[in-house]
Structure 1
Amino acid sequence: MEVTELVPTDLDTLKDHIVRRYDDLSPRLQQVADFAMAQPMLVAVETMVTIAEQANVPLSTLSRFSNAMGFSGFSSMQAVFREHYFNRPRDYKERVRKARNEAEFGPDSAAAIFHDFGAANIEALEQLQITVSPQKLDRAVALLEGAGTIYIQGMRRAYPVAFYLWYALMKSNNNVVLVDDNGGMLSPLTRQMNEKDVLVTFTFSPYAPETTDVIELAYKKNVPIIAITDNQMMEQGNKMDVCFEVQEGDNLGFRSLSCSVYLAQTLAVSLMCKDTN
């Protein structure tokens, strides 16, 4: 019996649909997919004509793309984008900016940088709360709960979050392995990984080749992959069973890890709560 997938009702689920179907789309439809993933707010607020012009495709291609994603037409797909952005909280950033403007400190002072990082992180965390669907969180926790061994991997900037999740889950009843390349142990640590396990990977641009290798190995071994990344349309995005896209706060060229740690905490505590039931 053929299972019919439900039409996406939130932007997070729609992004998953786009990533899974991307390789099967025609070049024209991939062009729309690229634009929609890169400019979701424009898709939410602009007219169909403007979107077609900016994506450099005919109007009919937008309709065909919407149909390919399971919608009856472009307007019904656009409603998912609009729902996401119209419900986005908007007052925190303005309040922080006002507090900074009223304070007596210079634009490059430690206090100013403190406020700017705070504003960027608040906005990023609020955005993540809107973007991540409960269904995706449940799928990730279910994979972790059913895993024989949980492998956790992240390199360079992503390593602190991977280490935190490993540290948190060491307190649980789960078998947990932190996959890193200290002492050339990357290959020995992943040799026993199999389809009964799960890989949790943290990867941000520029993507570390070590992480790419671990993802490829897990995919070939049919190991479920949970990814936390900054771009769901990354080259290996369609190999993820669950993919959380995070846009971290950024100030003076320094990207935060607040959203990634937030997700890691959520997964760890949710799994430990399952252990006590």
Structure 2
Amino acid sequence: MTTETNPQTTSDADRVLKELSSLYPTLTPQLKKAADFVLEHPVEVALLSIRKSAETASVTPSTMTRLAKTLGFERYDRFRQLFQEAIHTKAPSSFSQRAESLQHLASNNTENNVLSEYSTATFNNLEHFFQTETLEKIEQAAPIIVNARKVFTLGLRDNFACAHHFAYVGQIAFPHIQLIRGDQGTLLSELAVINEQDVIVVFGSDPYAIDTVNAINIVREAGAKIIAVTDSLRSPLAGDAAIVFTLNNETPHFFGTLVPAIALIEALLSVCVSLGGSEIVRNIDQFEENLRRLGGYYTP
């Protein structure tokens, strides 16, 4: 359980949110409503009184207090203080002004309203990505990936594109990265070889593919480390994960955007390469040389 001793950093708030995510399936319906509010609006937890937070979450103040006690806090105000300390450490974003400019342009150009909304949503999603908290998690995840026996990447349905991109680009430098395809009934066979020395990078957002959820439950039992790239700490992929990246995927498009996930993949693999030493450079050089030798690149 969380203790009240010296919570001083943003990672302490992250730790509490992660613990809440793991406990979420065991909570009562009223505590789940309170947890929904905390997981989705941690900044508002810091800014609002317990009464206002309870009102916004559609629960009673005593429910908010019970949730705090469930997480090991004797008083709600100490729970709230943890989030107040966290938001003071956040770096200001330079994307918000650009997003406001796009909104202003959209109001003066109704013909391109959809494209303007899409541009604004994309900038907002990337604004959320380029926060100190996410960049710190990338620094934590990179050595886990580099030092693992094997790294498996999993994403089904639309998220297969993310898993494939991670595996294709990652394998150029790191041969121990492997894509889980899960097609033609092979998913269980591919999962069976994973053990506690391995890492799985999983991609998924609401609505979560049931096969992905079931696969992660199997991986948890195998003891492998999980790096989850998802949309919420309430995600079934987030529980017991070593690292959870929560990405915004809001868009005027009818389907969730993959742009933030692709940005994360490229940033994460870049940091991994920076840690890999000369062997990684040789792997990349050999890959490119083989493609050129076999005529893989177009030459005018």
Fold shared, TM-score > 0.5 on shorter chain: yes
The 8 Å contact of residues 8 and 14 in structure 1, kept in 2 or not, is answered as no
Of 64, 67, 89, 1:65 maps to 67
- The 2-side partners of 1:35 and 1:133 are apart by 21
SS of 2:173's equivalent in the other structure is coil
Distance 1:15 1:118 in 2: 30
Amino acid in structure 2 at the alignment position of 1:7: P
- Going from structure 1 to structure 2, the CA distance change for 1:66 and 1:8 (only over 3 Å counts) comes to farther
Query: Aligned letter for 2:244?
Result: C
| Residue range with higher mean Cα deviation, 242-251 or 59-68 | 59-68
Instruction: State the shift of 1:200 in Å.
Output: 0.7
Structure 1 pair 25/41, CA: closer, same or farther in 2 (3 Å)?
same
Q: Could you say if the C-alpha distance between residues 44 and 131 of structure 1 is closer, same or farther in structure 2, counting changes exceeding 3 Å?
A: farther
Aligned residue-pair number? 271
The reply to whether residue 94 of structure 1 matches residue 100 of structure 2 is yes
2:50 paired residue number: 48
Q: Check 1:129–1:77 CA distance in 2 against 1; reply closer, same or farther (3 A cut).
A: farther
Structure 1 CA distance for aligned equivalents of residues 18 and 212 of structure 2: 21
Q: Given the alignment of the two structures, is residue 166 of structure 1 paired with residue 167 of structure 2, yes or no?
A: yes
The residue aligned with 2:22 is 20
In the alignment, residue 46 of structure 1 is paired with which amino acid? Answer: L
Offset at 1:151?
Answer: 0.7
* TM-score normalized with structure 2 length: 0.77
Distance 1:182 1:135 in 2: 34
Segments of 5+ residues of structure 2 without an aligned counterpart are 279-300
- Structure 2 residue aligned with 1:107: 110
List aligned pairs for 1:1-277, cutoff 5 A: 7=7, 9-10=9-10, 11-22=13-24, 29-69=31-71, 73-82=75-84, 84=87, 89=93, 90-102=96-108, 107-109=110-112, 112-130=113-131, 132-276=133-277
Amino acid at match of 1:94: E
Matched AA of 1:206: P
> Given the two structures, how large is their TM-score scaled by the length of structure 1?
0.82
Secondary structure of residue in 2 paired with 1:255: coil
Q: Are the structure 2 counterparts of residues 66 and 216 from structure 1 closer, same or farther at C-alpha, using a change threshold of 3 Å?
A: closer
Q: 1:7 to 1:61 in 2, by over 3 A?
A: farther
Deviation at 1:147, TM superposition (A): 1.2
Summarize the Cα distance change of 1:67–1:213 in structure 2 as closer, same or farther, 3 Å threshold: closer
Gaps of at least 5 residues in structure 1 are: none
User: Is residue 227–residue 244 contact of structure 2 (8 Å, CA) maintained in 1?
Assistant: yes
Q: 1:223: how far off?
A: 1.2
Q: Deviations over 1:160-217 (max 9, x none)?
A: 1111111111111341211113343323322321111111110111111221222122
Percent identity (aligned): 22
State the secondary structure of the residue aligned to 2:227. strand
Distance 2:186 2:202 in 1: 17
Q: Deviations over 1:226-259 (max 9, x none)?
A: 1101122123432322211111131143322111
Does the 8 A contact of 1:13 with 1:133 survive in 2?
A: no
